[in-house]
Structure 1
Amino acid sequence: MTVAPGLKKAAVLCVLCHADAFLLLQRLKPPHQGLFTPVGGKLDPYESPQQAAFREVQEETGLQALEMVWRGMLVETAPVDYNWISFVFEAHIERVPPPACSEGTLVWVEKAEMAVVPTPLTDHFIYEYLLANRPFHFDVTYDAALRPLVMREELQGLSLPLIS
């Protein structure tokens, strides 16, 4: 399905957890090539965000999540073709050896190490809010080079620091 340039695409991010670790994807392709991100992807036609979250976890990891809990939203706006509305979910899974993934390499990362793991700037805030059990609605505006200009947490009306 083709989306007109500038229109928001709907997606899901699925943070997979087990005790004190996250199962993250070190991405092979842009955007965020080489960085560690949650698994996820675009919603299919007629699919709810939660259905997409279950499907994306199964497609990218081969694992079955038993429950998918909505944790927040990430809205990204740029003057180029990078405009997203992402529903962020969390699923607790068994800690199994990371399965093969065509999108990159899946790696278990200890929650205590998240501050030093290379992730997109927005994801640092996602993990911070998840670990504090706080819902969120992040709204990020980028320049044409996809550098963040402004990031707000809309539920509390907070501007967030843009430290990369």
Structure 2
Amino acid sequence: MNFFEKKLLASGFKHISVNCVIEYNSKLLLIERANNPHRGKFCPIGGKLNAYEAPSEGLIREVNEETGINLKSFKLFGIMVESSPNEHNWVNFIYYSSFKSLPELETMNTIEGRLNWVSWYDLENIPLPETDIHIYRNIRRGQPFIFDVSFDANNKIKKMGNVLMEQIEV
């Protein structure tokens, strides 16, 4: 990260990312992250958008880079906006893709971490980012979402709500 990126992040500027919950045979393809953010935690496949890149284009690129899968079918399931007093500020486009046959993976070990097939039932027993269990629950229920998440200075959730389901009053 260069000087200007550090300054931009310190100003509260939001990163834009895409993530894909990939399902096959009641299991999700997750990456056990080797790097921060979320080092050692299981996360959906994805990453930051490049300049001038549409979210769907970034999703296809990120999934291919991290897994070797050429994603052909997917849907936008939700958006999560994360705000904090430090550099953890993101707008995340969360997609879902289901496969009828086992997708061929180039490798299970990537520069980003190790790929794992995790059953829906095991999600409660593995380390996840604090927000992610809510994403998986909504996808499992077929309930779209726009999560508005506020964190404290230690990156612990202060407030999280689904603005599609709640009335906002100012």
TM-score normalised to structure 2 length: 0.87
Written as runs of structure 1 = structure 2, the 5 A alignment for 1:1-164 is 2=5, 4-5=8-9, 6-93=12-99, 94-96=101-103, 99=107, 100-157=109-166
Letter in 2 for 1:153: N
C-alpha distance in structure 2 between counterparts of 1:115 and 1:154, whole Å = 24
Measured against aligned partners, the alpha-carbon deviations of 1:11-67 in whole angstroms (never above 9, x if no partner) come to: 111111112000000001111111100011111111111111111000011111111
Deviation at 1:95, TM superposition (A): 2.4
Aligned residues: 158
Report percent identity of matched pairs: 34
C-alpha distance in structure 2 between counterparts of 1:101 and 1:71, whole Å = 26
C-alpha distance in structure 2 between counterparts of 1:103 and 1:140, whole Å = 25
Quote the RMSD (CA, aligned, Å): 1.7
Runs of 4+ in 1 over 6 A off after TM superposition: none
Unpaired runs of 5+ residues, structure 2, are none
Is this contact kept in 1: 2:29–2:116, CA < 8 A? yes
